[in-house]
Amino acid sequence: MSDNVTELQHQQLTDDLLWGTQAIADFIGRSLSETQYLVRIEALPIGRLGPKLLIASKQQLQRHLTQVLKARAPKEERRSKAR
């Protein structure tokens, strides 16, 4: 049974990971250059494997982007009311 659990956990982890900048860009719906900029300014929760390879968790990206959008929503509401 423990082998099945380990295999399931491994598969879940594999399904959650994005490897490389292009995969991350595709997932968040941004261009490669926009994503490279977000990585450069450390605006995304990503990790590095070596000097060039980026890795990210889909769950962590979704959580992070949801928080960013929620934080921006009140500001945008105030701007639209001021107009």
Report residue 26: phi and psi, to 5°: -60, -40
Residue 39 structure tokens: 């990585």
- pTM to 2 decimals? 0.75
pLDDT bin (cut points 50, 70, 90) of residue 72 is confident
Residue with tokens 């926009």: 34
pLDDT of residue 33: 97
Q: CA 45 to CA 48: how far, in whole Å?
A: 10
Instruction: Say whether pLDDT at 1 is over 60.
Output: no
Residues of the domain holding 29: 2-82
pLDDT of residue 57: 96
- For the chain, what is the domain count? 1
Residue with tokens 């490389």: 20
Query: pLDDT of 8-63, one tens digit each?
Result: 777 777 889 999 999 999 999 999 999 999 999 999 999 999 988 999 999 999 99
Handedness of CA 53, 31, 34, 29 (dihedral sign): negative
